[in-house]
C-alpha cells in the first residue's frame, strides 16, 4: 500500500528548518517546535520569511522531497529539487506530445471534461442542500449549462476550442457561485473571479487555496517524473507550472472551491479575518491563513473511493495518483488521460 | 536514501548484477527501475539496503581458514555485467578457491532469482581471476543460515540467458505490460506500476465511456 506522504507547511515568520539526522526540525525562537521524519514527507512549503538550512535542503534532495519557497500569499518564488529527478524518456515523450496539436487537444478535452463534471456535481450538491427556491433555480440552471457543455467537448480536437468552452463554463459557474454561499452572503459573494489581486474576500480565499493546490500538483507532477512546467491546456510561459495547472483543473472544485464554501458556511473563516488594501486588493490575516491551512490539510486526509482505481484514498493523494495515470498515458499504457470525477 | 538510476561503472555501460534478480522478479519492475528511474522505498527495500551496508562496512579479514573480501567490485565482459560481491571467501589451496556469498534478507524466495545473481558473480570472478569456481552460498540474514549453491551447467546456462534477456529489455524503449501476480503485493513500485488499473480495466473503460456523458 501507499505510504501516506504529506506536505510540511511552515508559515511562522522567522522559523528555521534544519536537519536532525533523518528528520527535519522546525525551530522557532530557538525552541524546537516540530520534528518530522523525512520519509513521511512528499514536499516542504516555506511561506514568507522562513529559513531552510543547506543541511535540511540536502536531506530533502537525497530523499526526493522538493523544497518550495513561497511568498506569504502562496506565490512560488523558488524550488529546490534533486539534480536529476524523474525519467528522461518520459519527459521527452511529454515534450513531444505537448508539441503535437492533436495530442494537446485530446488531453485538454479530458482535463476540462473532468473539471466540468466536478463543478457540476458541486453545484448539484449545493442545490440539494439549499432551502431557498431562488438559489436552487440558479444552481440547477448553472449545472444544466455545464451538463450541456460536457458532451460537446468529445468532438473537440484542438486546445483553443476547449479553452473557449472552459471560459464560457467558468463564467456561468462563478456567476452562480454566490448561490452556494449560505452565511455572510453580503461579505462573501464573489463578483465573478478576480485575481492578481483578488478584489473580494471569496476570491482572496480561493486564490490562497488554489496556490496550495498548485503547490501540491507541482509536487505530484515531479513525483511522477513529469516536468511540471510543460502543459497541454496551459501554454508554456516562463515561471508557470503549465502541467501542474492542467492537472489541477479537475481538483479545483473538489479540494478548493468546496472547502472555501465550507469554511465560510461553517463560519470557520470570518469576514473580519480579511484586510483591504489601497486599490481594492484583499488578503487574509495570519490567523485566517493558518485556519485555512489546517482545514486544507484536514480535507486532504478525508478518504474517498477512487472511481476507477477502485481503492480508498485520502483526497490529498489524488493529485499524485492522477499524475501517475497521466504518466502512464504518455508512456502509451493507457489510451487516454482519465480525470478523477467524484460524485459527492 | 533513494538510489539513483544505475550509471555505467568505470565507463562501461553494463547493467548491475542485481538487475538480473530484478528481471527474474518482474520484467516490468526491472524496466521501471532501471530505465524509467522509478524507485519507491518500502520496508523490504530499506531493510535490504541496511543489511548490505552492514556487510560492506565490515573489514576484510584474514585467518587460518583463508581470507575474505567484502564489497568486491566485479565485471564480466562476456556477460556484459558489472556489480559488487557482498563477500568472497578465498579458501586455502593452490591456487586459492574463491567462494562468493550473497546476503539476502528473509527466507528463501519462492522464485529462485537469487541463484542466478550469485552464479553471475561467480562467472564474473572466473573471468577476472582465470580459474573455475564450483560453488558459492546465499546467506539468509534472518535465519543466519547459508545455503550452498553449485554452479551447474544448467544454472550457468540460465544465467547467460537471463543476461541476454536483460540486455534486450534495457535496450527497448517501451515499458513491458504489467502482469498481475500475487507477488505484486510486496512490490514497492506497485503504486507506480498500477497493474490492476492496466489489466483489470473494466472500471477504467466504464469511466472513459462516461467522461463525455452526463446523467
Smallest CA-to-CA distance from B44 within B110, B148, B142 is with B142
Check whether A26 has a pLDDT greater than 90: yes
Is the CB of A334 less than 8 angstroms away from the CB of B174?
no
The domain in which residue B138 lies consists of: 18-175
> Which chain A residue is nearest to residue B2, measuring alpha carbons?
A63
Give the residue-averaged pLDDT of A246-260.
Answer: 95
Chain B residue numbers with beta carbons less than 8 Å from the beta carbon of A330 are none
State the smallest CA–CA distance between residue A309 and chain B in angstroms: 6
- Domain assignment present for B215: no
Name the more confident of A241 and A194.
Answer: A241
Name the more confident of B58 and A309.
Answer: A309
Q: Which residue's C-alpha cell is 515568520?
A: A13
Check whether B72 has a pLDDT greater than 80: yes
A21 CB near a chain B CB, below 8 Å? no
- Between A25-34, A209-218, B33-42, B206-215, the lowest mean confidence (pLDDT) is in B33-42
- Domain assignment present for B62: yes
- Domain assignment present for B4: no
Give the pLDDT band of residue B11 (cuts 50, 70, 90). very low
- Between A128-137, A224-233, B2-11, the lowest mean confidence (pLDDT) is in B2-11
Check whether A178 has a pLDDT greater than 80: yes
Give the pLDDT band of residue B57 (cuts 50, 70, 90). low
Which of A66-75, A189-198, B35-44, B134-143 is the most confident on average? B134-143
Is the CB of B194 less than 8 angstroms away from the CB of A110?
no
Average pLDDT, chain B: 80
Smallest CA-to-CA distance from B215 within A133, A341, A200, A19 is with A341
Rg (CA), chain B: 20
Residue B72 belongs to domain with CATH number: 3.90.320
Give the pLDDT band of residue A167 (cuts 50, 70, 90). very high
Which of A216-225, B71-80, B202-211 is the most confident on average? B71-80
Check whether B109 has a pLDDT greater than 90: no
- Domain assignment present for B192: no
Burial class (CB in 10 A: 0-12, 13-18, 19+), A261: buried
- Domain assignment present for B13: no
- Please state, as a whole number, how many other Cβ atoms lie within 10 Å of the Cβ of residue A189: 16
Chain A residue numbers with beta carbons less than 8 Å from the beta carbon of B191 are 2, 324
User: Which strands make up the sheet holding A51-52, listed edge to edge?
Assistant: A31-37, A23-28, A16-20, A51-52
Ligand-binding site membership of A166 (annotated): yes
| Rounded-to-integer distance, Cα A102 and Cα A156, Å | 10
Query: How many structural domains is chain B composed of?
Result: 1
Grid coordinates given for B37: 528511474
- Domain assignment present for B22: yes
Of A90, A153, A309, the CB nearest to B197: A309
Interface of B with A in 31-70 (CB under 8 A): 35-38, 41-42
Q: Give the pLDDT score at B173.
A: 77
> Which chain A residue is nearest to residue B42, measuring alpha carbons?
A3
Q: Give the pLDDT score at B7.
A: 44
Check whether B8 has a pLDDT greater than 60: no
| Rounded-to-integer distance, Cα A288 and Cα A274, Å | 8
Name the more confident of B127 and A2.
Answer: B127
- Please state, as a whole number, how many other Cβ atoms lie within 10 Å of the Cβ of residue A45: 23
Is the CB of B35 less than 8 angstroms away from the CB of A39?
no
Of B37, B42, B212, the CB nearest to A86: B37
Check whether A2 has a pLDDT greater than 70: no
Q: Give the pLDDT score at A231.
A: 93
DSSP string, A10-41: E-STT-EEEEETTEEEEEETTEEEEEEEGGGE
Q: Give the pLDDT score at A220.
A: 83
Give the pLDDT band of residue B155 (cuts 50, 70, 90). very high
Check whether A316 has a pLDDT greater than 80: yes
Name the more confident of A120 and A84.
Answer: A120
Which ipTM was obtained for this model?
0.72
State the smallest CA–CA distance between residue A96 and chain B in angstroms: 15
Chain B residue numbers with beta carbons less than 8 Å from the beta carbon of A86 are 37
Check whether A338 has a pLDDT greater than 80: yes
Give the pLDDT band of residue B23 (cuts 50, 70, 90). very high
Chain B residue numbers with beta carbons less than 8 Å from the beta carbon of A225 are 36-38
Grid coordinates given for B11: 565507463
Is the CB of B35 less than 8 angstroms away from the CB of A331?
no
SS3 A115: helix
Interface of A with B in 287-326 (CB under 8 A): 307-310, 324-325
Give the residue-averaged pLDDT of B134-138.
Answer: 91
Of A63, A117, A225, the CB nearest to B37: A225
Chain A residue numbers with beta carbons less than 8 Å from the beta carbon of B203 are 307-310
- Domain assignment present for B197: no
Give the residue-averaged pLDDT of A112-139.
Answer: 92
Query: Residue A66: CB partners within 8 Å, gap ≥ 6?
Result: A43, A44, A60, A79, A80, A81, A218, A219, A222
B198 CB near a chain A CB, below 8 Å? yes
| Rounded-to-integer distance, Cα B34 and Cα B85, Å | 20
Is the CB of B197 less than 8 angstroms away from the CB of A325?
yes
Burial class (CB in 10 A: 0-12, 13-18, 19+), B207: middle
SS3 B179: coil
Chain A residue numbers with beta carbons less than 8 Å from the beta carbon of B42 are 3
- Domain assignment present for B185: no
Check whether B4 has a pLDDT greater than 60: no
Amino acid at each position: 500500500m501507499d505510504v501516506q506522504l504529506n506536505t510540511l507547511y511552515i508559515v511562522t515568520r522567522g522559523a528555521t528548518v534544519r536537519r536532525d539526522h533523518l528528520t527535519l526540525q522546525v525551530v522557532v525562537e530557538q525552541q524546537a517546535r516540530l520534528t518530522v521524519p523525512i520519509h513521511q514527507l512528499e514536499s516542504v512549503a516555506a511561506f514568507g520569511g522562513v529559513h531552510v538550512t543547506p543541511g535540511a535542503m540536502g536531506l530533502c534532495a537525497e530523499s526526493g522531497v522538493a523544497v518550495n519557497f513561497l511568498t506569504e500569499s502562496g506565490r512560488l518564488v523558488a524550488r529546490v529539487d534533486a539534480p536529476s529527478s524523474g525519467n528522461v524518456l518520459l519527459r521527452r515523450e511529454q515534450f513531444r506530445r505537448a508539441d503535437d496539436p492533436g495530442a494537446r487537444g485530446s488531453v485538454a478535452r479530458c482535463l476540462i471534461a473532468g473539471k466540468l463534471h466536478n463543478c457540476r456535481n458541486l453545484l448539484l450538491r449545493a442545490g440539494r442542500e439549499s432551502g431557498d427556491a431562488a438559489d436552487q433555480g440558479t444552481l440547477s440552471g448553472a449545472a444544466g449549462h455545464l451538463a450541456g457543455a460536457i458532451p460537446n467537448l468529445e468532438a473537440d480536437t484542438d486546445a483553443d476550442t476547449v479553452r473557449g468552452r472552459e471560459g464560457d463554463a467558468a463564467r456561468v459557474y462563478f456567476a452562480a457561485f454566490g448561490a452556494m454561499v449560505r452565511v455572510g452572503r453580503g461579505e462573501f459573494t464573489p463578483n465573478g473571479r478576480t485575481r492578481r489581486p483578488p478584489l473580494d474576500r471569496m476570491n482572496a480565499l480561493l486564490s490562497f487555496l488554489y496556490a496550495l493546490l498548485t503547490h501540491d500538483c507541482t509536487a505530484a507532477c515531479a513525483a511522477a517524473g513529469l516536468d511540471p512546467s510543460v502543459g497541454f491546456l496551459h501554454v508554456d510561459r516562463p515561471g508557470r507550472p503549465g502541467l501542474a495547472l492542467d492537472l489541477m483543473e479537475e481538483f479545483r472544485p473538489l479540494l478548493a472551491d468546496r472547502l472555501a464554501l465550507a469554511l465560510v458556511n461553517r463560519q470557520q473563516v470570518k469576514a473580519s479575518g480579511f484586510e483591504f488594501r489601497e486599490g481594492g486588493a484583499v488578503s487574509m490575516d495570519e490567523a485566517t491563513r493558518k485556519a485555512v491551512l489546517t482545514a486544507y490539510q484536514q480535507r486532504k486526509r478525508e478518504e474517498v473511493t477512487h472511481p476507477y482505481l477502485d481503492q480508498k484514498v485520502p483526497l490529498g493523494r489524488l493529485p499524485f495518483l492522477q499524475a501517475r495515470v497521466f504518466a502512464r498515458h504518455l508512456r502509451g499504457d493507457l489510451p487516454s488521460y482519465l480525470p478523477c470525477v467524484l460524485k459527492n | 536514501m533513494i538510489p539513483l538510476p544505475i550509471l555505467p561503472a568505470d565507463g562501461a555501460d553494463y547493467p548491475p548484477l542485481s538487475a538480473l534478480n530484478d528481471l527474474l522478479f518482474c520484467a516490468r519492475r526491472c524496466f521501471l527501475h532501471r530505465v524509467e528511474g522509478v524507485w519507491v522505498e518500502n520496508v523490504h527495500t530499506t531493510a535490504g539496503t541496511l543489511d548490505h551496508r552492514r556487510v560492506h562496512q565490515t573489514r576484510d579479514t584474514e585467518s587460518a581458514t583463508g581470507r575474505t573480501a567484502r564489497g568486491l567490485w566485479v565485471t564480466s565482459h562476456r556477460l556484459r555485467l558489472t556489480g559488487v560481491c557482498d563477500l568472497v571467501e578465498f579458501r586455502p589451496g593452490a591456487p586459492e578457491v574463491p567462494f562468493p556469498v550473497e546476503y539476502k534478507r528473509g527466507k528463501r524466495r519462492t522464485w529462485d532469482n537469487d541463484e542466478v545473481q550469485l552464479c553471475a558473480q561467480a562467472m564474473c570472478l572466473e573471468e577476472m581471476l582465470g580459474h573455475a569456481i564450483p560453488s558459492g552460498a546465499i546467506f539468509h540474514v534472518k535465519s543466519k543460515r547459508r545455503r550452498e549453491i553449485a554452479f551447474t551447467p544448467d544454472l550457468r546456462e540460465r544465467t547467460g540467458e537471463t543476461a541476454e534477456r536483460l540486455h534486450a529489455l534495457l535496450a527497448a524503449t517501451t515499458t513491458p505490460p504489467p502482469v498481475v501476480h500475487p507477488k505484486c503485493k510486496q512490490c514497492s513500485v506497485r503504486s507506480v506500476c498500477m497493474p490492476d488499473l492496466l489489466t483489470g480495466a473494466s472500471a477504467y473503460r466504464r469511466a472513459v465511456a462516461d467522461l463525455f456523458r452526463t446523467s
